[in-house]
Structure 1
């Protein structure tokens, strides 16, 4: 049994043990892609009858950590729209790209079709207010990163992280692509714009390895140029309309 088969077997047993009333389940993440390590958790989406409650849980089953995305059938459309609105589509991608563990009545198959339609439609565009706020945030992080001396390594490293994250947020939005957090940020960034995404990641690495902020600053400026340029004087954010 290879690693992927072992993960499928563990996830299937988890669902049967903890959710015998489940309408279906899907294994997602690195385990479904054959990239799991011995310490990787299992990402499992479980469809539940409407008498149950939608929620997110983390449990340990037979020694392995599992993150569970539990949704009643009636809650799926609303939850999928919420997941899409975040522009990350975490659970949408589990249903889109994951491995079906059990689907006795075809509910998982139909839910996967819903997820794939939303993935194909892409994330929502940023509103004008969201875009301007992101431009302003990236400009601030970029300016501070440029001005922070390499002797202040902790500040420099934190600013590099925030600059990369905000630049990725803006660039993926500009490309109409999905974004991500954690390990999914570089994956989504490279998928959205391979050339500029790679340059941003290399710029971030230059700060980490050589205390040189300028490659990342230069790439952040390129991202800003795509969406109207740096946002400094003239920016206003109103607490009430």
Structure 2
């Protein structure tokens, strides 16, 4: 079976060691499962590789389980994601709500190495549809994200005079949260970490300059000042602010382990 499926594979044009690594990764996959389809994806496949870039393989199969494998092939780090189609369809809406469309992006931008079922093209078409949708960030979720970032910004300000290392970590986290919120507030999903700053700079060059100033700060005070300027622009806050979520329905949960729950 593996030999027959190997003969049906198509290969993207890649330089070494990626070309050989991809073939070995597919060989491994064919030995581990009977795939409906295999999609090679990621920066290596798109011709945007960095020195530490890996190959991603998205594998569709009929078995009722999912599996993730991380291995080196010819020294190239490779991540293999094995899923049944119904699981993939469940990832689309949940990742869309979270603003992180990993699955849709991998399938839509990948190269089909093996196609044994109509579901491969169906899922790729669905993935493109999800990518075309504007990001959905509710007012309540935006306010929670805003408050979380403001709290970390305030914690960074508190620790800057006494512990520069802790402050730097807190402020870096706060700035990342603010940038992700900024992107989502513009109706866009959160990009890959490597692309976050460039996307922010494209949307708002002035904010991009503030981020560059934060990243290149040479003192704790300069770092804090830059982070607070980002907070002023994105959050209109530098710390705690008043807000009220309003009444929110909560599910009724019965604890079956308790005497009352088992009655």
Whether these two folds match at TM > 0.5 is: yes
- Given that 1:190 and 1:197 are in contact with CA atoms closer than 8 Å, whether structure 2 keeps it comes out as yes
- Given that 1:14 and 1:61 are in contact with CA atoms closer than 8 Å, whether structure 2 keeps it comes out as yes
Measure, in 1, the Cα distance between the counterparts of 2:204 and 2:30: 41
- Given that 1:28 and 1:98 are in contact with CA atoms closer than 8 Å, whether structure 2 keeps it comes out as yes
Measure, in 2, the Cα distance between the counterparts of 1:61 and 1:24: 20
SS in structure 1 of the partner of residue 112 of structure 2: strand
Counterpart check, 1:41 vs 2:49: no
Equivalenced residue count is 234
Measure, in 1, the Cα distance between the counterparts of 2:115 and 2:44: 19
Call closer, same or farther: CA 1:91–1:197 in 2, change over 3 Å: farther
Counterpart check, 1:107 vs 2:115: no
Unaligned runs of 5+ in 2: 1-11, 251-263
SS in structure 2 of the partner of residue 124 of structure 1: coil
The partner residue of 1:163 within 170, 174, 190 is 174
Aligned to 1:134: 145
- Given that 1:29 and 1:94 are in contact with CA atoms closer than 8 Å, whether structure 2 keeps it comes out as yes
Larger Rg, first or second structure (1 or 2) = 2
Call closer, same or farther: CA 1:230–1:38 in 2, change over 3 Å: closer
Measure, in 1, the Cα distance between the counterparts of 2:39 and 2:74: 19
Measure, in 2, the Cα distance between the counterparts of 1:51 and 1:149: 53
Counterpart check, 1:203 vs 2:225: no
Call closer, same or farther: CA 1:69–1:113 in 2, change over 3 Å: same
- Deviation of the 1:150 alpha carbon: 5.7
Task: Kindly report which structure 2 residues correspond to 1:78-89, keeping only aligned pairs within 5 A, or say none.
Answer: 78-89=90-101
Deviations 1:65-101 (A, max 9, x none): 2112221123221122222222111121111212222
Aligned to 1:123: 135
- Deviation of the 1:132 alpha carbon: 1.9
TM-score, normalization: structure 2?
A: 0.75
SS in structure 1 of the partner of residue 47 of structure 2: coil
SS in structure 2 of the partner of residue 60 of structure 1: strand
SS in structure 2 of the partner of residue 102 of structure 1: strand
- Deviation of the 1:188 alpha carbon: 4.8
Aligned to 1:232: 240
Counterpart check, 1:153 vs 2:164: yes
Measure, in 2, the Cα distance between the counterparts of 1:124 and 1:144: 29
SS in structure 2 of the partner of residue 158 of structure 1: helix
- Given that 2:25 and 2:73 are in contact with CA atoms closer than 8 Å, whether structure 1 keeps it comes out as yes
SS in structure 2 of the partner of residue 31 of structure 1: coil
Measure, in 2, the Cα distance between the counterparts of 1:164 and 1:230: 11
Measure, in 1, the Cα distance between the counterparts of 2:17 and 2:80: 18
Measure, in 2, the Cα distance between the counterparts of 1:7 and 1:56: 20
Counterpart check, 1:75 vs 2:87: yes
